[in-house]
Amino acid sequence: MQNLFHGFNYSKAFNGTPKQRLTVIPLAIDHVLAQEKGKERLFQHVNELSQAFALAVPNPEALELKDEVGFFQSVKAAMAKATASEGKMTEELDSAINQIVSKAVASDQVIDIYAASGIKTPDISILSDDFLAEVKTMPQKNLALEMLRKLLSDEIKVRKKNNLIQSKTFSEMLEKTIRAYQNRTLQTAQVIAELIDLAKDMKKAHGRGEKLGLTDDELAFYDALEVNDSAVKVLGDQVLCKIAKELTSTLRNNVTIDWEKKENVRARLRIMVKNLLKKYDYPPDKRVEAIKTVLEQTELLAQNWTSQGA
């Protein structure tokens, strides 16, 4: 633990004002994230320290360290909340240890990492412009990067439930940016700028359906039609929107429970999609891939449709 926090003075966590005790947490996280595999090392060390502390309590020598143990646990908890999760943590073990440790450790409060970082009331549901502007000016750049990474990952997970193309596109863009950062081809400030641009692109994509007069389901099929392909673009938005609406209505009315396991139902749906694309003169050389993508998109939406009594 000493190596991780070498050169970082966290004494304010114990003897500072309430504001100083709160703001030292994001500074500590930023310090750790600046190091190679800092997050993984912190999690491992805090887990090991917590287990050792739990076994040693109520030994007086162990109790002398309770404030530091509480501080390290607070840093870990705040980091877990604010950064992208990589692999499933041993939550049950953590919970059991924390129950023991909390009896001896005084600092058992939940840290609001946004407030502690100086962000007032973040509107993170759609990554608002105000929120992104505040993140951009955060002095803790490593923490800002990880917060954006987590929020974008969470937003992509939400879209993955109903929009195949958007989730795939934005996931690839996020991975490309993070890979460049990990390979040290981009500096932290550059990565933050790219992630903010990505967030803005995601926000624009979120509002496209309303501009086109499409529901979320209809927009998902619109995106599945490969609308950015030059051969498809010539059809124009009006025709593509008509196709998307008919696809949504036709597929919703013909999807059955466990349809993906019934080849005869899949074959019928495939023919319906093929005929619909042909009806609107969808480019013949693009139809095979479009049909495949549309059926994959249908799989995402089918569960909701059938549960709603489509």
| CA distance linking residue 141 with residue 145, whole number of Å | 6
| CA distance linking residue 148 with residue 135, whole number of Å | 8
Q: Considering only CA atoms, which of 63, 65, 69, 77 is closest in space to residue 25? A: 77
Q: Contact 265/189 with Cβ under 8 angstroms?
A: no
pLDDT digits (tens, 9 = 90+) for 134-168: 888 888 888 888 888 888 998 899 889 899 999 99
Q: Is the pLDDT of residue 216 over 90?
A: yes
Average pLDDT estimate for 1-6 = 79
Average pLDDT estimate for 69-90 = 71
Is 207 in a helix, a strand, or coil?
helix
pTM higher than the cut 0.85: no
- Rounded to the nearest 5°, which phi and psi values hold at 211? -65, -35
Residue at token pair 């001896």: 104
Q: Considering only CA atoms, which of 275, 270, 310, 278 is closest in space to residue 294? A: 270
Domain ranges, ordered by start, for the chain:
12-116, 129-200, 216-307
pLDDT digits (tens, 9 = 90+) for 8-61: 888 888 887 777 777 888 888 889 888 888 888 888 888 887 777 776 666 777
Residue by residue, DSSP assigns 39-65 as: HHHHHHHHHHHHHHHHHHTT-HHHHTT
Give pLDDT, residue 296. Answer: 93
Segment among 103-107, 198-202, 216-220, 239-243 with least mean pLDDT: 103-107
Q: Contact 69/101 with Cβ under 8 angstroms?
A: yes
Give pLDDT, residue 104. Answer: 40
Phi-psi region of 87 (alpha: psi -120 to 50; beta: other; left: phi over 0): left
Give pLDDT, residue 298. Answer: 92
- Rounded to the nearest 5°, which phi and psi values hold at 251? -70, -40
Say whether the peptide bond before residue 58 is cis (omega within 30 degrees of 0).
Answer: yes
Q: Which of the two residues, 70 and 103, has the higher pLDDT score? A: 70
Q: Contact 251/293 with Cβ under 8 angstroms?
A: no
Give pLDDT, residue 136. Answer: 86
| CA distance linking residue 56 with residue 51, whole number of Å | 9
Q: Considering only CA atoms, which of 106, 111, 109, 104 is closest in space to residue 52? A: 104
Q: How confident is the model at residue 85 (pLDDT cuts 50, 70, 90)?
A: low
Share of the chain above pLDDT 70, in %: 82
Tokens of 247: 């696809």
pLDDT digits (tens, 9 = 90+) for 88-131: 444 444 444 444 444 444 444 445 666 666 666 555 555 788 88
Q: Considering only CA atoms, which of 222, 174, 172 is closest in space to residue 196? A: 174
Residue 104, class by beta-carbon neighbours within 10 Å (0-12 exposed, 13-18 middle, 19+ buried)? middle
- Rounded to the nearest 5°, which phi and psi values hold at 256? -120, 165
Q: Considering only CA atoms, which of 140, 180, 157 is closest in space to residue 38? A: 140
User: Chain-wide mean pLDDT for the chain?
Assistant: 81
